Amino acid sequence: MTVELLNQISRQTFETVLLVGGPVLLVSLVVGVLISLFQAVTQLQEMTMSFIPKIIAVFITLLVALPWMVKVLVSFTRNLFENIPLYVR
């Protein structure tokens, strides 16, 4: 296994992690900022007001994006398994 091959595998791994985790993290960030803005405007500082909408938004995002996430992960895993002979040489 060469250094270039190891770099390529590492790059693909990080890209896959960002692709799979990105949508959920982005939705959580946007909902968190909107809730924080609402709390700053109304001066309501209830912890459950920020926690529950984020949980609901993340759950809905997972329901919508889960088939795509599974497809990305399966193709990445299949690519790794198909290239095992290249990695061993």
H, E, C per residue of the chain: CCHHHHHHHHHHHHHHHHHHHHHHHHHHHHHHHHHHHHHHHHCCCCHHHHHHHHHHHHHHHHHHHHHHHHHHHHHHHHHHHHCHHHHHC
How far the first Cα of the chain sits from its last, in Å, is 6
Give the percent of the chain with pLDDT over 70.
100
Domain ranges within the chain, ordered by starting residue: 3-88
Give pLDDT, residue 29.
95
> For the whole model, what pTM was predicted?
0.78
- Chain segment 28-61, per-residue pLDDT in tens: 999 999 998 998 888 877 777 788 889 999 999 9
Higher-confidence residue: 68 or 83? 68
Give pLDDT, residue 43.
84
- Give the distance between the most distant pair of CA atoms in the chain: 63
- Mean predicted lDDT score pLDDT of the chain: 90
Give pLDDT, residue 55.
93
Token pair 């895993």 in the structure block, residue: 77
